[in-house]
Structure 1
Amino acid sequence: MSDAVFLVVMGVSGTGKSTLGAALSKALRLPFIDGDDLHPQSNVDKMSRGEPLTDTDRQPWLETIRRTAVSSVLSQLGNGHKSHADPNAMPETETTLDKSSMLGRNEQLSSSMRDKDQKPGIVIACSALKGSYRSVLRGETLSEAEASKHSRKLPTCFVYMKGSRETLMNRMMKRQGHFMKAAMLDSQLKTLESPENEDGVVTVSIEWSTEDQVQEVVRALKDGEGRQHVASKH
């Protein structure tokens, strides 16, 4: 799995993570999942009430995202990610089976577009605001029982969508039907720990067009294999 990539599109709400994630999925011919779809219902209910999630709330969500990424790549490699011997396989609850079906459809679509030498991988949108959250997404904090050799070998690259509070607030005030309240933006910005000094990070401005954002990420992955810090262009 060292040639695979787990691409996390990150940033506070309103940056356009889902839009960029879908565009990267098309450009890179990889499956895409919005991390919000992997939240347990209890988290969605809290956010709908305008209550910020605690780190305790987020921990199982972040672990699920990591397991989903690993399972997807193993599936693309033909390693049977649903095997009971695979400690990174998602628990077979009704909810996760629905997510697996959704992921399976994405994988079938992306597989049909891949060349023989196309590297496996997955794109997932996730806020990933704290360094500790990103450690979970990298697979660095999994228990020994879960930290299989497969999980450890899946490189993780973060695409940090950066923007001003004013631009973000304007965007959020215009959004309809999203569970994240605009009033929670300041809380997210306060929580945000910039990843710009970390390895494996590509920074893009939310002021850029989606096409420019995609081009920057593709360039960074090509030049640095997604494993080295890439400074944002100005």
Structure 2
Amino acid sequence: MARFDKVLVVMGVSGTGKSTIGRLLSEALDIPFYDGDDFHPEANVKKMRVGKPLNDKDRQSWLEKLNALALEHKSTGAIIACSALKQRYRNLLEKDMGSAIHFIYLEGSFELIKSRLESRKEHFMPLELLQSQFDTLEPPSEAITVSIFHSPEKIVELIRGEIQ
């Protein structure tokens, strides 16, 4: 059983490196990693593939699934990558979690993230939806905030310094 008994939600807009950082943190802390994208219903994926942003109704069941996943790992720890763009979404994710959940906000400029997305291949999230993500984003007031300007290894080092 892992000694780290928190669920960490690595959040931010598409292209900030949530999956990369989540996987590296998972290895460093020896707890499982779950990519929230894998829990989207097919209808959501299809909608995003054609360039349509998701609305709150689209996200509801997805966020409920991720909350159930967090609850399942409440006492053993896990990393979940999830955009968690609005406070309302974060509230759904932390339902019944108490102090066992922490958000890690990967923060970056539109220009930097756009350049990353332009070089990314084989992802269902098209570049055209980046502005809608920034429009939706409500930066968290209670989160570990880390700039994506740093290397992935440095980001993980900074996060570990904050959580341990």
Q: Is residue 215 from structure 1 mapped to residue 157 from structure 2 by the alignment?
A: yes
1:190 aligns with one of 115, 132, 135: 135
Partner of 1:15: 16
Normalised by the length of structure 2, the TM-score is 0.94
Partner of 2:43: 42
Q: How does 1:139-154 map to 2 (within 5 A)?
A: 139=95, 151-153=96-98
* Residue identity (%): 48
Q: Is residue 126 from structure 1 mapped to residue 113 from structure 2 by the alignment?
A: no
Q: How does 1:6-85 map to 2 (within 5 A)?
A: 6-73=7-74
Which of 124-133 and 151-160 deviates more?
Answer: 151-160
Please state whether the residue corresponding to 1:194 is helix, strand or coil. coil
Q: Which amino acid aligns with 2:133?
A: Q
- Deviation per CA, 1:108-133, whole angstroms, max 9, x where unpaired? xxxxxxxxxxxx20000000000000
Normalised by the length of structure 1, the TM-score is 0.66
Tell me how far 1:4 sits from its aligned partner. 2.4
How large is the RMSD of aligned CA atoms in angstroms?
1.3
Please state whether the residue corresponding to 2:124 is helix, strand or coil. coil
Distance 1:152 1:173, change over 3 A: closer
Tell me how far 1:72 sits from its aligned partner. 3.2
User: How far apart, CA to CA, are the structure 1 residues paired with 2:66 and 2:99?
Assistant: 13
Tell me how far 1:71 sits from its aligned partner. 1.6
Which aligned segments of 4 or more residues in structure 1 are displaced greater than 4 angstroms? none
Please state whether the residue corresponding to 1:9 is helix, strand or coil. strand
Is the contact made by 1:6 and 1:155 (CA closer than 8 Å) also made in structure 2?
yes
Q: Which amino acid aligns with 2:5?
A: A
Distance 1:152 1:204, change over 3 A: closer
User: How far apart, CA to CA, are the structure 2 residues paired with 1:132 and 1:190?
Assistant: 15
Q: Which amino acid aligns with 1:123?
A: I
User: How far apart, CA to CA, are the structure 2 residues paired with 1:59 and 1:219?
Assistant: 33
Larger Rg: 1
User: How far apart, CA to CA, are the structure 1 residues paired with 2:116 and 2:74?
Assistant: 34
Partner of 1:82: none
Tell me how far 1:157 sits from its aligned partner. 0.5
